[in-house]
Amino acid sequence: MIRRVRSQRGASAIELALYTPIMFFVIFLIIQFAMHYHGSQVAHAAAREGARIARTTFDTDPGLHHAQARAAEHAARLGGNQLTDVRVTAGNDGATVWVEVCGRPKEIIKKVTPRVCQRAEGPVEQFRPDV
């Protein structure tokens, strides 16, 4: 008994139609992850810059405000439009100052990327005379 094999015409087109959206989604997800990582690095660099300013100008009156402004400026200059809705907070506990930078990385796929928050801290730099 001879059995006829069903025609395979159009199978490649169907496979392409099924797999192409999945491949595009995976590619966009990889790009989105890279943008999230870049936004995290921008936030961390801005937090480090703000902490550096806060450590050296802690004893002056607008020290923490100056550090917050510098961190926000650094995030805007370094990241451009890659990090939006930037919020900078700064504080101290007497011997240590900290600066936290939070923002939202640029999104290709909406509602996939969470906010990034990076914090940098360090001891206050003060002159202590020898006794």
Rounded to whole angstroms, the Cα distance separating 15 from 31 reads 24
Task: Say if 52 falls within a structural domain.
Answer: yes
Rounded to whole angstroms, the Cα distance separating 104 from 112 reads 11
Helices and strands (H and E) in the chain: how many: 2, 3
Task: Say if 92 falls within a structural domain.
Answer: yes
Query: Would the pTM of this model clear 0.85, i.e. be above it?
Result: no
DSSP 12-60: HHHHHHHHHHHHHHHHHHHHHHHHHHHHHHHHHHHHHHHHHHHHHSTTS
Q: For tokens 């004893």, what's the residue?
A: 59
Task: Say if 131 falls within a structural domain.
Answer: no
pLDDT at residue 117 greater than cutoff 90: yes
Task: Say if 24 falls within a structural domain.
Answer: yes
Task: Say if 1 falls within a structural domain.
Answer: no
CATH number where 42 lies: 3.30.1300
What pLDDT, in 10s, does the model give residues 44-91?
999 999 999 988 887 665 678 889 999 999 999 987 888 889 999 998
83-92 β-sheet, strand order: 83-92, 96-105, 116-123
Q: Residue 79 has what pLDDT?
A: 79
Show the domain range for 46. 11-123
Rounded to whole angstroms, the Cα distance separating 33 from 13 reads 30
Task: Say if 22 falls within a structural domain.
Answer: yes
Task: Say if 27 falls within a structural domain.
Answer: yes
Task: Say if 15 falls within a structural domain.
Answer: yes
What's the structural domain count of the chain? 1
Spatial CA neighbour of 125 closest among 46, 63, 68: 63
Q: Residue 37 has what pLDDT?
A: 94
**26-55 average pLDDT score:** 93
